[in-house]
């Protein structure tokens, strides 16, 4: 998939848009990619290249003659702030224990083999492919202690795959329902019977978004159906200090939430809830008022009592919400808050369930997400690139690696595990990716 998408993007960049192009869709797509620093699922290289192509089409599209934003400095968020320079180097054997690693020498030339996540019982979901004209993919469960691979029966689908749940009893993967990228289909592998089954839902709106999928503690799959979308200002986005389209403070988008059973195609429920992003803990359902733009409210529902409350996260007037997650009594927001003369303002904000800011990780070109008691931060900042880990319980902030690969790899991992990647090889040019990558799986040590 990496190379197929890459070739298409090169073709798209070399071909001018036709007269019948949907400019609103192009503008919205470009805005979405520029704001997003990481994909929710695998495919990071494609996202990065797509963003560059779309942004290049947008910059200079304005007809109102607006200049770049006035010279200014990155503002400081409210509350405690942690920067990349505050991290200390993590020590193997003291802070973490490496369990497995795998190297692909040249992902730019051929699709390879990857870790697609870690099951609850510590097995790696090992993917080989897609390969060949049919984009065939096969999976194995890899024991990191021995390296032995238990190959699963052939996976019947030949579309892009998104791991949803990697359990001790079952594995659930999502695909598009159709080859054109519409709808959602779930594939379940029963680890006892060693058989695949699938389900799709005739009663689910066909525009349900596979990128807005969350598994609830009740075992239901919650999906977003596009409801409202922001749009660029008249004349297009202004050009920021870095020469790219500046879309901080953009109007966000919303989704209508539906839920479905993973076993019964007739069990489809409209949750009568409009949200931006959605996340669950064992005890709460948490959602934002908007995503992919400014978000001004976060809502929390107690799953036992149904009681709800909401609050203003005080994220900053120009912060676009790009990533959202929750664990225990903590909420984590990944945000892009603008580009200034002295750099980008990217933030990973940690809140409690009442809206109090615990800390904000702020720096240039970072993004992050939460898994258990760990916030994993990826930095692309020059001279500070790498993977970092922030411990929610202790406040410790550690740097795990000193580089990041050109590809977005990995998948779901249980609490207490960290999965990251580093580059291998040398790029063939200044605009080309570093061809290879090594993935690392580690257990975080208390």
Q: In sequence order, what DSSP letters do the residues of 241-252 get, joined into one string?
A: TTSSB--TT---
Give the pLDDT confidence of 214-240 residue by residue, as tens digits: 999 999 999 999 999 988 888 889 988
Sign of the Cα torsion 60, 66, 72, 78 reads negative
Q: Which long-range contacts (CB under 8 A, 24 or more apart) does 349-352 make?
A: 349/77, 349/313, 349/315, 350/375, 350/390, 350/392, 351/298, 351/313
Strand arrangement, sheet containing 81-82: 81-82, 357-363, 343-352, 330-340, 320-327
Across the range 67-93, mean pLDDT stands at 87
Across the range 125-143, mean pLDDT stands at 90
Across the range 183-199, mean pLDDT stands at 96
Per cent of the chain over pLDDT 70 is 83
pLDDT of 186 reads 97
Across the range 432-441, mean pLDDT stands at 95
Q: Residue 362: pLDDT above 80?
A: yes
Mean pLDDT of the chain, nearest integer: 85
Confidence at 24, pLDDT banded by 50, 70, 90 = very low
pLDDT of 325 reads 97
Q: Residue 203: pLDDT above 50?
A: yes
Compute the distance between CA of residue 363 and CA of residue 93 in angstroms, rounded to an integer: 28
Across the range 287-294, mean pLDDT stands at 97
Compute the distance between CA of residue 195 and CA of residue 208 in angstroms, rounded to an integer: 26
Q: Report residue 29: phi and psi, to 5°.
A: -65, -40
Confidence at 179, pLDDT banded by 50, 70, 90 = low
pLDDT of 111 reads 76
Confidence at 378, pLDDT banded by 50, 70, 90 = very high
* Distance of alpha carbon 26 from the chain centroid: 21
Across the range 85-99, mean pLDDT stands at 98
Give which of 263, 284, 121 is closest to 216, Cα–Cα: 284
Confidence at 108, pLDDT banded by 50, 70, 90 = confident
Q: Residue 161: pLDDT above 60?
A: yes
What's the whole-model pTM score? 0.85
Across the range 46-53, mean pLDDT stands at 33
Across the range 32-38, mean pLDDT stands at 36
Cβ proximity of 378 and 419 under 8 Å? no
Strand arrangement, sheet containing 136-142: 113-118, 124-131, 136-142, 149-151
**331 vs 157: which has the higher pLDDT:** 331
Q: Residue 13: pLDDT above 90?
A: no
Q: Residue 27: pLDDT above 90?
A: no
3-class SS at 200?
coil
């Amino acid at each position: 998939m990496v190379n197929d998408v890459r070739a298409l993007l090169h073709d798209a960049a070399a071909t001018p848009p036709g007269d019948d192009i949907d400019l609103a869709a192009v503008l919205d797509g470009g805005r979405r990619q520029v704001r997003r620093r990481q994909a929710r699922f695998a495919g990071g290289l494609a996202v990065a290249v797509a963003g560059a192509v779309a942004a290049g089409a947008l910059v200079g599209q304005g007809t109102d003659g607006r200049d770049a934003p006035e010279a200014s400095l990155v503002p400081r968020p409210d509350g405690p702030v942690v920067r990349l320079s505050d991290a200390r180097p993590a020590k193997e054997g003291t802070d973490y224990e490496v369990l497995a690693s795998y190297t692909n020498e040249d992902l730019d030339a051929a699709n390879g083999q990857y870790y697609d996540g870690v099951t609850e019982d510590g097995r790696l979901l090992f993917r080989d492919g897609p390969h060949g004209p049919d984009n065939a993919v096969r999976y194995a469960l890899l024991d990191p202690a021995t390296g032995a691979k238990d190959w699963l029966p052939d996976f019947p689908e030949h579309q892009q795959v998104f791991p949803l749940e990697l359990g001790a009893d079952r594995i659930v993967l999502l695909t598009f329902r159709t080859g054109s990228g519409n709808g959602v289909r779930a594939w379940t592998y029963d680890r006892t019977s060693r058989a695949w089954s699938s389900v799709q839902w005739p009663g689910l709106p066909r525009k349900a978004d596979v990128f807005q999928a969350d598994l609830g503690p009740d075992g239901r799959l919650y999906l977003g159906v596009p409801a409202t979308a922001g749009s660029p200002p008249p004349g297009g986005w202004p050009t920021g200090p870095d020469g790219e389209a500046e879309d901080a403070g953009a109007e966000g988008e919303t989704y209508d939430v539906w839920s479905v059973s993973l076993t019964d195609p007739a069990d489809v429920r409209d949750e009568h809830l409009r949200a931006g992003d959605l996340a669950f803990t064992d005890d709460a359902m948490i959602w934002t008022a908007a995503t992919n733009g400014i978000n001004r409210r976060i809502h929390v529902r107690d799953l036992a009592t149904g009681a709800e409350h909401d609050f203003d996260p005080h994220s900053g007037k120009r912060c676009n919400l790009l990533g959202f997650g929750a664990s225990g009594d903590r909420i984590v927001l990944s945000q892009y808050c603008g580009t200034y003369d002295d750099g980008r303002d990217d933030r990973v904000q940690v809140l409690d369930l009442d809206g109090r800011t615990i800390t904000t990780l702020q720096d240039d070109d970072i993004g992050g997400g939460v898994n258990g008691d760990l916030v994993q931060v990826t930095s692309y900042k020059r001279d500070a690139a790498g993977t970092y880990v922030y411990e929610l319980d202790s406040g410790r902030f550690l740097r795990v690696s000193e580089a990041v690969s050109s590809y977005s790899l990995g998948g779901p991992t249980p609490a207490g595990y960290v999965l990251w990647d580093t580059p291998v090889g040398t790029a063939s040019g200044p605009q080309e990716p570093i061809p290879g990558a090594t993935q690392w799986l580690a257990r975080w040590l208390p």
